[in-house]
Amino acid sequence: MQSPKPLVVILATGGTIAGTAALATDTTGYRAGALGVDALVAGVPALAGHRLESESVAAIDSKDMDEATWQRLARRVAHHLARPEVAGIVVTHGTDTLEETAYFLHRVLAPAKPVVLTAAMRPASALSADGPANLLDAVGVAAAPGVRGVSVVFAGAVWGAVGLRKVHTLQTSAFAGSDCGPIARLEGGAMRVFRAWPGGEALGLERIAAAPSAWPRVEIVMNHAGADGRIVDDAVIAGTAGIVVAGTGHGTVSARMEAAIARARGEGVRVTRASRCVFGPVLPRGADDADAAGELSAVQARVELQLALLADVR
């Protein structure tokens, strides 16, 4: 008897991939997350060859992604991953905070099965919609043997979450990795794999179990010409538990900002040094320096710091 095709579960969260506009020529004036997951799947006839289940977790523009939705999403992903018959998961998402959600799921779940996030820059109603091909590619990757961990499939490339960045406001090639290239490329129905699939240790759902309102506040502040550090003092007054500094260059800050950061540390606030540069790591200053963001972008470093601080929230 032939074994059944791999079962892939599609979890929808909204985004432009599910967006609709009044005109097929309109690629910017649309409502994100308007299409239900069944309509999204029905819009890609080539998916008929796959064994699929689908579920809506949210229907939001990912600019509004929040802790409660992340918690719900992580729980649904974990639920389906635990089903022996499920080969992999696809999460449809908006592009705006895709790199944060991908990193969040990577750190919380570090799954052995594939969890593939995908998105689109153009709404489903557009003549030039990129969502259908991205969704088809994502399902193909989630069903492929040998694939594992959290990845992002976009515009023919498969990226790991660490260091991934949205780098363009409009173009359909909107994502790039930091110093490392994609894990794989998808061309003509074939997947060329260049690097190992993501692994690592999961923090687990327990880490994110606290009510979202109790999650530690972590702010991002940017160094810039004229930065006087008052924003850091204000964040401390507002009760922030952590600050990610999107520093200049290799994570540097003005002397006045440095003084404000020292004051914040004195109040017990955890600080991570990231960069406002698009590419490149912020490396540790020495063996004991745990505050450097490494390959993570400032927004991903914020996720990391929030997850670290959650260890102390019961």
Min dist CB 179 to ligand ASP, Å, is: 25
Min dist CB 22 to ligand ASP, Å, is: 17
Say if residues 268 and 205 touch (Cβ distance below 8 Å): no
Say whether residue 88 binds ligand ASP (CB under 6 A).
no
Question: 131 or 182: whose CB is closer to ligand ASP?
Answer: 131
Say whether residue 94 binds ligand ASP (CB under 6 A).
yes
Say whether residue 32 binds ligand ASP (CB under 6 A).
yes
Say whether residue 63 binds ligand ASP (CB under 6 A).
yes
Q: Which of 37, 58, 102, 121 binds ligand ASP (CB under 6 A)?
A: 121
Min dist CB 49 to ligand ASP, Å, is: 26
Q: Which of 95, 101, 118, 172 binds ligand ASP (CB under 6 A)?
A: 95
Q: What is the dihedral of CA 138, 142, 143, 147, to 10 degrees?
A: 130
Tokens 């260091």, residue located: 163
Tokens of 38: 């069944």
Cβ-Cβ contacts under 8 Å for 217 (sequence gap 6 or more) = 238, 239, 240, 241, 242
Q: Which of 78, 87, 92, 96 binds ligand ASP (CB under 6 A)?
A: 96
Tokens of 277: 């540069």
Say if residues 43 and 125 touch (Cβ distance below 8 Å): no
Question: Which stretches of 128-190 are DSSP H helices?
Answer: 131-143
Residue 137 three-state SS: helix
Q: Which of 27, 61, 140, 251 binds ligand ASP (CB under 6 A)?
A: 61
Tokens of 136: 């088809």
Say whether residue 130 binds ligand ASP (CB under 6 A).
no
Min dist CB 128 to ligand ASP, Å, is: 14
Return the range that interacts with ligand ASP (CB under 6 A); candidates 76-84, 92-100, 157-165, 196-204: 92-100
Q: Please state, in angstroms and rounded to a whole number, the distance separating the CA atoms of residues 84 and 142.
A: 15
Q: Which of 10, 12, 15, 56 binds ligand ASP (CB under 6 A)?
A: 15
Say if residues 120 and 95 touch (Cβ distance below 8 Å): yes
Cβ-Cβ contacts under 8 Å for 306 (sequence gap 6 or more) = 215, 216, 218, 242
188 burial (CB, 10 Å; 0-12 / 13-18 / 19+) is exposed
Question: 98 or 301: whose CB is closer to ligand ASP?
Answer: 98
Say if residues 185 and 191 touch (Cβ distance below 8 Å): yes
Q: Please state, in angstroms and rounded to a whole number, the distance separating the CA atoms of residues 153 and 171.
A: 15
- Find the catalytic residue in 16, 92, 101, 272: 16
16 belongs to the catalytic site? yes
Return the range that interacts with ligand ASP (CB under 6 A); candidates 46-54, 90-98, 261-269, 301-309: 90-98
Min dist CB 96 to ligand ASP, Å, is: 3
Return the range that interacts with ligand ASP (CB under 6 A); candidates 1-9, 20-28, 58-66, 135-143: 58-66
Min dist CB 314 to ligand ASP, Å, is: 33
Say whether residue 16 binds ligand ASP (CB under 6 A).
yes
Q: Please state, in angstroms and rounded to a whole number, the distance separating the CA atoms of residues 8 and 5.
A: 9
Active-site amino acid positions: 16
Q: Residues in the site for ligand ASP, rule: CB under 6 A?
A: 14-16, 32, 61-63, 94-96, 119, 121
